[in-house]
Amino acid sequence: MINAKVVPGHRVASGANENPLFPGGTLAMQAPFFRALGLDLTRFHPGTLNVSIAPLRYQVLEPRLTFRQVQWHPMEPPEDFSFFDCRIHFNGVICTGLIYYPHPETKPAHFQASDVLEILAPSIDGLIYGDYIKLDVDPLQMAFVKR
């Protein structure tokens, strides 16, 4: 289990940045494509929980799911996405989520720092920027190392 700090993201996944290129957010646009590939996101909040794991960084090992060449946007190139099982611990509550990993080599913009993970999770009452969570990730799927 690792400590992670909730940090602001680009607000593109949720659509909160109101970018007209991504009406409703990237996740809302991607969800039907993921559903068709076998991953239903309806149990998750329609945005990502961004957490910093500094001073650690992550290493991708064996994702639970990988979808290649997903053409989810009419004007953007197809992207690869991987998903990793995780559990979030906050204020005595434990919920199951997925680390959402758009592969940087196929992602056109909005890159994350090497210590930031994007998590798909149900809404977590009381969780705000600056809070710390404990994150439990399958060690066969993802490793964490010092920078």
Delimit the domains of the chain by residue range.
2-146
Peptide bond just before 102 cis, omega within 30 deg: no
Reported pTM:
0.87
Q: How far apart are the first and last CA of the chain?
A: 17
What pLDDT does 15 receive?
41
Rounded distance between C-alpha atoms, residue 43 and residue 123, angstroms = 9
Selecting from 1.20.1260.10, 2.40.50.140, 1.20.1530.20, 2.40.30.30, what CATH number does the domain 2-146 have? 2.40.30.30
How confident is the model over 21-60, as pLDDT tens digits?
555 567 888 999 999 999 999 999 888 999 999 999 999 9
